[in-house]
Chain A
Amino acid sequence: MMDRYSKLQIVGIYAAILVFLTFILLPFFEMFMASLRPLEHLFRSPYQFWSDDFSFQAYSDMWVTVPLLGRYILNSVFIAGSVTVLTMVFVVPAAYAYARLDFPFKSASLGMFLGVNMFTGAVLLIPLYRVLSTLGLLNSYWAMIVPGIAFLIPTGIWLLRSYLEKIPVELEEAAYVDGASRLYTLRRVVLPLAVPGLIVVSTAIFIGAYAQQFLFAITFNQTREYQPLPAGLFEFIGYQSVTWNEMMAAALTGVLPVMVIFLFLQKYLVAGLTAGAVKE
């Protein structure tokens, strides 16, 4: 009853939601419209909202105009995938330690991890450039993967820790009583129980890794064959004649992998990410 709205209120709510969503979705809508317009109509003056000959031509032409497009998308997925797997390797044991164990310097070291979130790569680019150059990693996939991992470890630990804390500790204690070692308990008791949490955290890391590639790619990598999609597309903006409709088509195609993953897991993802915002 408390939630009952009058007709007028309902109209108002929907209208406001419409305005809000228009703001959020306008760039996507505009990109989609631009991708459908034949190139010569894009520059038609005066401005026309509707072109009479929309087509999906750009979606097939783009593979020819940008021969590396498929490669860019694969690179993006490959880099984000590698970052995810490697980050999880670092995150899982650390998150377990913070969730379950008591040890000196626990909060100090956790604070250090969270402090990393204060910086973005941009502040550390100069020495990072030299570190990567010393290690001989510039202009390779590693140039984008290594810094990517570093900046996702803190978030990963934070998210997984709060998930692990919710697993009842009695199961582990039962395993100890039966004489299981710590490592065995972690592998055979905790990790299987944590699978949903592991999926949420690795999805979050994948999305983060997919999103953060631009800066590292334009700074640490000059090899065109290794560029991820955002950097590959950015290079095109500088060209003399940009086939904008194909570029929009390429940009939209390029976000498909991450959008698909997101749509499948969005419910768990949002619940997992915002868990800290909800009072227990």
Chain B
Amino acid sequence: MTDLASTTQRKRRSLPEAWFAWALIAPAVIFILVIVAWPLVETFRLSFTDARLGGESYVGLENYTDLAESKKFRQTIVRTFYWMFLSVFLKLILGLVGATLLNAAVPGRGLFRVLVMPPWVIPMAIGMIGWLWLYNGAFGVLSGTAQQLGLIGKAFEFLAYKRSAFYSAVVADVWVGTPMVTLFFLAAMQGVSRDLYEAAWVDGAGRWYRFRRITIPQIMPVIVSMALLSAIFTFNSFEIIWILTEGGPRSATTTLIIDTYKTAIGNFKFGEGAARAVVIVFLLAVFSLIYLFFLNKVNNHYGVK
């Protein structure tokens, strides 16, 4: 009876359904086409020109050959991937540890959960002002405490040296990204059926064993998708580096995004900037495709549709 009713309704609604749906999504589609898709196409076009403030003319592949020959640009690409892998790796580890801790049945965990979230909620730019201060040699608490403990002789400016500036930026990025990863892992952990744990517990499995053999496999799809999401965020992250170092000192923290921004907006070299943006889009697309391929495998392996 119900089957019959729904079939007749389906028939009655099927003709205008597509039109109605298109009408509903049309405003959003048009908006995205104008503000995102068209600029994307325009970026491709500009990358073959020497567009500046004054005007533009077609230069063919010149911007790309320049990039291919530039040692500096190759270093920037390597640095960007290193930045991304290191940061994402740390976020996933910290997120797993954090979620496991917050998932422990101890009093106060509701409060702890709320306290984890601020870096995620507030504007990145404001959090970075805090880190700017923390990293300051003369009056930041990190250098100050280290001095008082006698770990370092004099004030240490975290952002003044190439290596320390890079790792300081990584830590700040991990700080921004960890809360989201933690909360998603936590939600996934809470979704794992208790029966599994109880069965294992009855069989005498310890905590570590249950974590390794139940929790991790059960939440693996979420781990993988969070890894992809944070990889994209980290790859694209602009504010963190821009506010901390503006890509310095001596390009030590210049990632592809920073390089693109400096070229295009800082120096008004729109054409050269566009070529860099195209490289970013290309790398992101390739990276995502490889990743989605693996995600599919993982999902199949762990029986998620």
Verify that A and B bind, or say they do not.
yes
In the complex, are the beta carbons of B243 and A90 less than 8 A apart?
Answer: no
Q: Which residue of B lies closest to A20 (CB)?
A: B98
Q: Which residue of B lies closest to A129 (CB)?
A: B265
- For residue A42, CB closer than 8 A to chain B, the reply is yes
With the chains together, A157 CA to B39 CA distance in Å?
Answer: 22
Which one of A5, A177, A215 contacts B104 once the chains associate, using CB atoms below 8 Å? A5
Q: Give the residues in chain B near A102, CB-CB below 8 Å.
A: 17-18, 21
The secondary structure that dominates the A interface is helix
- For residue A268, CB closer than 8 A to chain B, the reply is no
Q: Give the residues in chain B near A48, CB-CB below 8 Å.
A: 144
Q: Give the residues in chain A near B186, CB-CB below 8 Å.
A: 274
Q: Give the residues in chain A near B13, CB-CB below 8 Å.
A: 176, 182
- For residue B40, CB closer than 8 A to chain A, the reply is yes
In the complex, are the beta carbons of B119 and A17 less than 8 A apart?
Answer: no
Which one of B12, B133, B183 contacts A248 once the chains associate, using CB atoms below 8 Å? B133
With the chains together, A21 CA to B144 CA distance in Å?
Answer: 20
With the chains together, A271 CA to B191 CA distance in Å?
Answer: 12
Q: Give the residues in chain B near A273, CB-CB below 8 Å.
A: 183
- For residue A189, CB closer than 8 A to chain B, the reply is no
- For residue B68, CB closer than 8 A to chain A, the reply is no
With the chains together, A120 CA to B239 CA distance in Å?
Answer: 11
Which one of A20, A104, A128 contacts B35 once the chains associate, using CB atoms below 8 Å? A128
- For residue A49, CB closer than 8 A to chain B, the reply is yes
Which one of A93, A98, A116, A130 contacts B36 once the chains associate, using CB atoms below 8 Å? A116
In the complex, are the beta carbons of A279 and B265 less than 8 A apart?
Answer: no
In the complex, are the beta carbons of B28 and A94 less than 8 A apart?
Answer: yes
Give the interface size bracket for A toward B.
35 or more
In the complex, are the beta carbons of A229 and B123 less than 8 A apart?
Answer: yes
Chain B 1-42 residues near chain A, CB threshold 8 A: 5-6, 9, 12-13, 16-18, 20-25, 27-29, 31-32, 34-40, 42
Q: A13-B101, A124-B40, A130-B42 are in contact. Are A147 and B123 (CB under 8 A)?
A: no
User: In angstroms, how far is the closest chain A Cβ from the Cβ of B275?
Assistant: 10
Q: A103-B21, A125-B261, A255-B123 are in contact. Are A42 and B139 (CB under 8 A)?
A: yes
Q: Give the residues in chain B near A258, CB-CB below 8 Å.
A: 121-123
User: In angstroms, how far is the closest chain B Cβ from the Cβ of A253?
Assistant: 10
The secondary structure that dominates the B interface is helix
User: In angstroms, how far is the closest chain A Cβ from the Cβ of B200?
Assistant: 9
In the complex, are the beta carbons of B178 and A24 less than 8 A apart?
Answer: yes
Which one of A43, A44, A123 contacts B260 once the chains associate, using CB atoms below 8 Å? A123
With the chains together, A131 CA to B17 CA distance in Å?
Answer: 34
Contact with B along A1-38 (1 / 0, CB 8 A): 01101000010011011001101111110110110000
User: In angstroms, how far is the closest chain B Cβ from the Cβ of A189?
Assistant: 15
Q: Which residue of A lies closest to B228 (CB)?
A: A118
With the chains together, A272 CA to B197 CA distance in Å?
Answer: 26
Contact with B along A85-99 (1 / 0, CB 8 A): 000011101101110
Chain A 165-208 residues near chain B, CB threshold 8 A: 173, 176-177, 182, 207
In the complex, are the beta carbons of A251 and B129 less than 8 A apart?
Answer: yes
In the complex, are the beta carbons of A123 and B46 less than 8 A apart?
Answer: no
Q: Which residue of B lies closest to A3 (CB)?
A: B105
In the complex, are the beta carbons of A97 and B184 less than 8 A apart?
Answer: no
Chain A 41-55 residues near chain B, CB threshold 8 A: 42-49
In the complex, are the beta carbons of A90 and B28 less than 8 A apart?
Answer: yes
In the complex, are the beta carbons of B125 and A27 less than 8 A apart?
Answer: no
Q: Give the residues in chain B near A146, CB-CB below 8 Å.
A: 35
- For residue A117, CB closer than 8 A to chain B, the reply is yes
User: In angstroms, how far is the closest chain A Cβ from the Cβ of B191?
Assistant: 4
Q: A126-B46, A214-B123, A229-B123 are in contact. Are A26 and B134 (CB under 8 A)?
A: yes
6 residue pairs of the A-B complex, CB under 8 angstroms, read A20-B98, A24-B119, A45-B155, A112-B29, A214-B123, A270-B187
Excluding A173-B6, A258-B122, 8 further A-B contacts by CB distance (< 8 Å) are A42-B139, A120-B236, A123-B236, A127-B274, A131-B35, A131-B42, A210-B123, A211-B121
- Shortest 9 CB-CB distances between A and B: which pairs? A47-B144, A27-B130, A230-B125, A274-B187, A278-B191, A127-B39, A127-B42, A150-B35, A93-B24
Spell out A's residues near B (CB within 8 Å).
2-3, 5, 10, 13-14, 16-17, 20-21, 23-28, 30-31, 33-34, 42-49, 89-91, 93-94, 96-98, 101-104, 106, 109, 112-113, 116-120, 122-131, 146-147, 149-151, 153-154, 157, 173, 176-177, 182, 207, 210-215, 219, 229-231, 233-234, 237, 244, 247-248, 251, 254-255, 258-259, 262-263, 266, 270-271, 273-275, 277-279
